[in-house]
Amino acid sequence: MIVVDRPNRNEWATYALRPAIKKQELNNLVNEVLNEVQQDGDKALFRYTEKFDKVKLDGFEVDNDEIEKAIGLVSEELKAAIALAMRNIEKFHASQIRVEKEIETVEGVRCWRKSVAIEKVGLYIPGGSAPLFSTILMLAIPAKLAGCKEIVVCTPANAKGEINPAILYACNLTGVKKIYKVGGAQAIAAMATGTETIPQVYKIFGPGNQFVTKAKELVQQKGVAIDMPAGPSEVLIIADETCNPSFVAADLLSQAEHGADSQVILLSDNSEIINKVNLELDKQLVALPRKDVASEALKNSRAIILDSLDECIEFSNTYAPEHLIIASESASNFVDKIVNAGSVFLGNYSCESAGDYASGTNHTLPTNGFARNYSGVSVDSFVKKITFQNLDKKGIENIGPAIEIMAEAEELFAHKNAVTLRLNEIRNV
């Protein structure tokens, strides 16, 4: 990692930049995919699946035989691990369900809000070199808790036309029935517009590469909701002299191995800690099966020495990381100062991998600085809030005159008249 020693504050924004991509070229390519899928439906999906995933399929929908076969291929050890994770994720997300109170704002005026599930949702599950079966748990569990009626999963097949067994096992375990062998931007296009095989959905969830991310961004402009803007995975770690440098290096590498376009940032007020972590990175990197990927990601990454841990927190809030780890025995002292982060891991034993898999929190989080204004996925992501109000005669009498005055001031006389007619009826005018 490149080491930066005490940069001026006016340079912080530069060091908070993510790796750049060729936006116009990406826009053009993804727009072409979206348009062709909208026009040609399944035919376009077959073409793009053969072109990008290098597999010629006869159909996209996963049948029961494939699911049963996959269940048999998942080890009992992995099944037990998934069951533990599922329990924790379900427990944490179930706690988010709230029944809101009915409020009488003034005598005769009752107002309340109700959560109503989004009827049709689409889940995109990456399935390439790192098949993210854990994302099924993170998305399908809150979708089920919210009460979504139709859950559609799209995930790419391998060169043999098969989906990773753990993905199919997780789908079956969470009750997802509609599973399709489609990946990339074409999968997002299919869920956004619908094809002969794949149903159209109202909101699309899930992580993906730059093509998937761009496709989600573009379909949102056409009226299909998405969970959040997102990009390559990232972590920022604040470490002091009480950290364990080997733990810190392992956490940095756990994000770096996601992809060559991932980014990891290390902040410390102690240059010796930076040196120790860098030595650990070199030691641990050589043993990783995905060391080439992680090495590329480290080229986009940096270690920054600042004057104090308070400054490190300030820089982190500027960066707004997807994952923030405070590797310190006094990590809890900084909780109230954190204002921009997707998910926070406190202390030397709170590894980011815990949130990725089994602590219970959701790992679908805003990246690329969007933690400044977006939250991670929750049960609320799968519902919309509908407000209700009920006014009786006393209620319209209490607020009607104020409405008349306000409507007239805005020169909206039909609005005023809707109130005046009711007041006159009550007064028998």
Q: Which of 363, 380, 387, 388 lies closest to 147 in space, CA to CA?
A: 380
Give the position of tokens 């410390």. Answer: 268
Matching fold, domains 231-375 and 392-426: no
Rounded to an integer, the average pLDDT of 318-346 is 97
How large is the average pLDDT for residues 380-391? 97
Closest C-alpha among 335, 336, 423 to residue 345: 335
Two tokens at 353? 């991998």
Q: Tokens for 77, please give them.
A: 């050890």
What is the architecture, at CATH level 2, of domain 392-426? Up-down Bundle (1.20)
Q: Among 3.40.50.1820, 3.40.50.1980, 3.30.70.260, 3.40.50.150, what is the CATH number of 23-102+116-227?
A: 3.40.50.1980
User: From the candidates 280, 322, 352, 404, which is the catalytic residue?
Assistant: 322
Residue 338 confidence (pLDDT): 98
Per-residue model confidence as pLDDT tens digits over 50-92: 999 999 999 999 999 999 999 999 999 999 999 999 999 999 9
Per-residue pLDDT tens digits for 226-278 = 999 887 889 999 999 999 999 999 999 999 998 888 999 999 999 999 999 99
The catalytically annotated residue of 234, 258, 311, 323 is: 323
Domain edges within the chain: 23-102+116-227, 231-375, 392-426
The yes-or-no answer on residue 415 being catalytic is no
The pLDDT value given to residue 429: 66
Active site annotation includes 322? yes
CATH class belonging to 231-375 = alpha beta
